[in-house]
Amino acid sequence: CWNRILKAFANSLDPDETPQNVAVKFRRFLESSNVGTCLNELLVLEHSDVVTRQKLCTCSALFSALDSVNDCVEISNQDHEIQYVNPAYERLTGYTMEEVLGKDTRELRSDRNKQEISDSINGQMKKGKKWEGTYYTRRKSGDVLPQHCRMCPVMGVGGKPSHYVSIRSPHMESSHYFDKLKDPDYLSQIANGGIHSIARRKESFARIHSMTIEAPITKVINIINTAQESSPITVVQALDKVLEILRTSELYSPYFAQEMKGDDPMTSDYLGGLISQDAARSMKEVDHPLRAAAHVPTSHIAHHHISSQLIPDNINNLLVKEDSWDFDIIELERVTNKRPLVYVALRTMARFDVCSFLSISETCMANWLQLIEASYQCTNSYHNSTHAADVLNSTAYFLQREKIKAIFDPIDEVAALIAAAVHDVDHPGKSNAFLINSHSDLSVLYNDIAVLENHHAALTFKLTARDQSVNIFKNLDRDTYRLLRQSIIDMVLATEMMKHFEHLNKFVNSVVKLTQKAEETSSLSGTGSPDSAMILNQLSTTENKTLIKRMLIKCADVSNPCRPLNLCIEWARRIAEEYCQQTDEEKRLGLPVVMPVFDRKTCSLPKSQTSFIDFFIKDMFENWDYFCDIPVLKGHLETNYDFWKLEEESPTHDYDLSVKVAQKTAEHENVQRKSSDSTGKSSTEDKATNSINST
């Protein structure tokens, strides 16, 4: 009878679910009619076979749960030897379970965990208490990630810990951006021109893969990324190392020989003039005023603090829209008598609390800004302090994008704002190629390498250190100053157009593709998962933040085609005038003409703009939009490009274009006004149109 009970129990077990290490053993006993004996046997059966099976099934369920959670789980014994890690731990750190089993957990910790943290953890574990706080995890690649860690001991025999359980989740600051995407109110708030739809994202990324100019290294990286998708983890990790090596090498400069052999000589000349500086030089020595460009007399500049209460109402009224993309910097230039930089910079620096970071007074900042603005050459039609103020305004706008706010630290924001303000200081209104061909003192000083950009950066720090009343860096400690200076210089040098495609390709392969992974992980694994947080932490590394800052100032520097149409037209007229002046000077001095397309007799302003947008702007802003979401700029860019295309097809000569431009601008603004604002409040647009008419 009892054997039948045991056999029935054994048959009830599912062979597929029964753990392999569990065997049902049959025990024999004498048949007895004693109820107590039978009851005792059933109790023995319950507390041995049945309970053991239930515990094993429960353990199986717990391990399934551990395999599915997004938090990293690590279990070690009393000697801190790792006994178990879950798949989330493997994904985050890059180590497999086989690689870490039996290893001391202390061997895998990061040096960024201070000794006080380790002492605190050990103290809590010995007391049998939990510990919770920020813990730095070192990945197999060497990266360090901050995580929110909860550690607790498992008490064994004698009241001593037998195991330690560590649960690590994404750090709150790291997952800030992705967590905000969970909030439906936040999504609805920025839905109008804010977050792109998934379909638009995929379409945008598809266009990124078909960039106009693609370096060979980009194709190599795309092939490696494709191979990783179907490879085992060991191969994926090896290929990650390959990608890391490729991305840190100078392999991103594209080859222009084929692209510049097209049927469009104007585009070829324009492209060559902007990104090359090794044009044929005239061996004739040229005595030119630019030899004195490096000298900027500043000793007699008086510095007076500009109190916000003393700023005229008409200027204050304009500065109200300082944080808007439609801010009219040209109008501010007019009302400030060509001194817009000081006013817009004071407002912007205050908004980002720059003086507090630098530990200086607003007076010191105002003095420094006046010195910098005085060092810009106001006779330039384009590269003057108004352009600097415009780039500063664009930079501040980009710094307010959600993803950039989640990645940048205060020092990154301060560096970006300062670099924007000084990036063209003392620009002579001539290109690098002109300075090299004319054998200017600056080209000799900087060995023909990024002549203007090196000059802007060097002069900035030279002027700043000249007088304590203008030294905005005087209160920084040595390490902070070194990091800030390095970042400012790097951003200013990034504005050199010769390395435009190198910076763009690096940004696409390192930052944009990480962004795509973050969005895919966020949609598949849920926002705030270890994978998405890890990717955001990867974006926050020093190397990637450097690439982002370079692209930020590059986009800000050439953002004119993305401004409202009236501003876009004015900036196009100004840059064309400056280039035409350079062509006039090159002809007068017998120098090689760097950009023959900007000849006053033959120049086509619409054609120059469409060529510039096609070659430089479209791809760059497509990627920048995918990264930080700037639909307003994309809308202006499309409108402006269509406008220039229509003008390109018309026979109107460019320097007789002002009347037609005003008409087109008025028509465009009327359409926008009717569709978006039925109240007819258009004083700003009318003022802009009048400005174009006067032009």
Binding residue per annotation — 197?
A: no
CA angle 115, 117, 119 (to 5 degrees): 70
Q: Does some domain include residue 671?
A: no
Q: What is the pLDDT of residue 516?
A: 83
Over 80: is that where the pLDDT of 666 sits?
A: no
Q: Does some domain include residue 680?
A: no
Binding residue per annotation — 395?
A: no
Binding residue per annotation — 387?
A: yes
SS3 169: strand
pLDDT tens by residue, 373-403: 999 999 999 999 999 999 999 999 999 999 9
pLDDT tens by residue, 404-450: 999 999 999 999 999 999 999 999 999 999 999 999 999 999 999 99
Same domain for 340 and 441: yes
Q: What is the pLDDT of residue 191?
A: 42
What's the pLDDT band for 534 if we cut at 50, 70, 90? confident
Same domain for 314 and 198: no
Same domain for 21 and 98: no
Of 151, 171, 191, which closes a domain?
Answer: 171
- The amino acid that residue 257 corresponds to is A
Over 80: is that where the pLDDT of 251 sits?
A: no
Same domain for 259 and 241: no
- The amino acid that residue 474 corresponds to is K
Which of 207-216, 242-251, 575-584 comes out lowest in average pLDDT?
A: 207-216
Phi, psi of 153 (to 5 degrees): -90, 150
pLDDT tens by residue, 118-127: 888 888 888 8
Residue by residue, DSSP assigns 375-441 as HS-TT-SSSSHHHHHHHHHHHHHHHTSHHHHHH--HHHHHHHHHHHHHTTTT--SS-HHHHHHTT-H
Of 43, 66, 89, which closes a domain?
Answer: 66
What is the domain extent for residue 124?
Answer: 69-171
Q: What are 137's two structure tokens?
A: 């995890």
Q: What are 114's two structure tokens?
A: 């201070």
Which of 106-120, 198-212, 337-351, 574-588 comes out lowest in average pLDDT?
A: 198-212
pLDDT tens by residue, 288-320: 434 344 334 444 344 444 555 567 888 999 999
The answer to whether the CB of 172 falls within 8 A of the CB of 92 is no
d(CA 38, CA 35): 5
The candidate with the shortest Cα–Cα distance to 567, out of 386, 443, 348, 299, is 386
Binding residue per annotation — 557?
A: yes
d(CA 343, CA 346): 5
Q: What is the pLDDT of residue 297?
A: 42
Binding residue per annotation — 209?
A: no
Q: What is the pLDDT of residue 474?
A: 96
SS3 654: helix
Q: What are 507's two structure tokens?
A: 């940004």
Residue scoring higher pLDDT (38 or 307): 38
The answer to whether the CB of 345 falls within 8 A of the CB of 369 is yes
Q: What is the pLDDT of residue 36?
A: 76
Q: What is the pLDDT of residue 169?
A: 81
Domain with 126 in it: what CATH number?
Answer: 3.30.450.20
Same domain for 303 and 195: no
pLDDT tens by residue, 146-188: 888 889 998 887 778 888 999 988 654 444 444 554 555 544 4
Residues 6+ away with beta carbon under 8 Å from 475: 358, 359, 360
Of 148, 196, 288, 383, the catalytic one is 383
Binding residue per annotation — 386?
A: yes
Q: Does some domain include residue 688?
A: no
pLDDT tens by residue, 623-657: 999 999 999 999 999 999 999 999 988 755 444 44
Q: Does some domain include residue 515?
A: yes
Binding residue per annotation — 609?
A: yes
Q: What is the pLDDT of residue 225?
A: 79
SS3 559: coil
Same domain for 428 and 359: yes
The whole-model pTM stands at 0.61
What's the pLDDT band for 686 if we cut at 50, 70, 90? very low
Binding residue per annotation — 423?
A: yes
Q: What are 431's two structure tokens?
A: 């290109």
Tell me the sheet residues that pair with 161.
Answer: 155
Q: What is the pLDDT of residue 124?
A: 83
Q: What is the pLDDT of residue 685?
A: 37
What letter does residue 49 receive in the DSSP assignment? I
Tell me the sheet residues that pair with 242.
Answer: none
Over 80: is that where the pLDDT of 675 sits?
A: no
Residue percentage of the chain with pLDDT more than 70: 71
What's the pLDDT band for 205 if we cut at 50, 70, 90? low
SS3 632: helix
Q: How far is CA 558 from CA 104, 340, 496, 568, 645, in A?
A: 53, 19, 11, 11, 19
Q: How many domains does the chain have?
A: 4
Domain with 568 in it: what CATH number?
Answer: 1.10.1300.10
SS3 136: strand
To the query of whether residue 668 is one of the catalytic residues in this protein, the response is no
Beta pairing class for 131-138 and 161-170: unpaired
Q: How far is CA 387 from CA 1, 340, 456, 574, 694, in A?
A: 98, 9, 14, 10, 20
What's the pLDDT band for 11 if we cut at 50, 70, 90? low
Q: What is the pLDDT of residue 426?
A: 97
Q: Does some domain include residue 677?
A: no
Same domain for 96 and 54: no
Same domain for 269 and 145: no
d(CA 594, CA 32): 111
The answer to whether the CB of 665 falls within 8 A of the CB of 566 is yes
Same domain for 258 and 222: no
Residue percentage of the chain with pLDDT more than 90: 45
Same domain for 274 and 422: yes
Residue scoring higher pLDDT (9 or 242): 242
d(CA 573, CA 694): 13
d(CA 328, CA 390): 9
- The amino acid that residue 536 corresponds to is L
The answer to whether the CB of 566 falls within 8 A of the CB of 691 is yes
Q: What is the pLDDT of residue 496?
A: 95
pLDDT tens by residue, 45-74: 777 777 777 777 888 888 888 888 888 899
Q: Does some domain include residue 114?
A: yes
Same domain for 331 and 210: no
Q: Does some domain include residue 666?
A: no
Instruction: Go through 301-315 and write b for each residue having 16 or more CB atoms within 10 A of its CB, e for each that does not.
Output: bebeebeeeebeeeb
Binding residue per annotation — 456?
A: no
The candidate with the shortest Cα–Cα distance to 340, out of 387, 409, 292, 300, is 387
SS3 642: helix
Q: Judge residue 678's burial from the number of C-beta atoms within 10 Å of its C-beta, 0-12 exposed, 13-18 middle, 19 or more buried.
A: exposed
Alpha-carbon torsion 252, 258, 259, 261, what sign?
positive
Over 80: is that where the pLDDT of 253 sits?
A: no
Residue by residue, DSSP assigns 142-168 as S-EEEEEEEEEEEE-GGG-EEEEEEEE
Of 50, 66, 82, which closes a domain?
Answer: 66
Alpha-carbon torsion 58, 62, 67, 73, what sign?
negative
Over 60: is that where the pLDDT of 7 sits?
A: no
Q: Does some domain include residue 565?
A: yes
Same domain for 365 and 270: yes
Mean pLDDT taken over the chain = 79
Q: What is the pLDDT of residue 621?
A: 97
The candidate with the shortest Cα–Cα distance to 426, out of 398, 395, 384, is 384
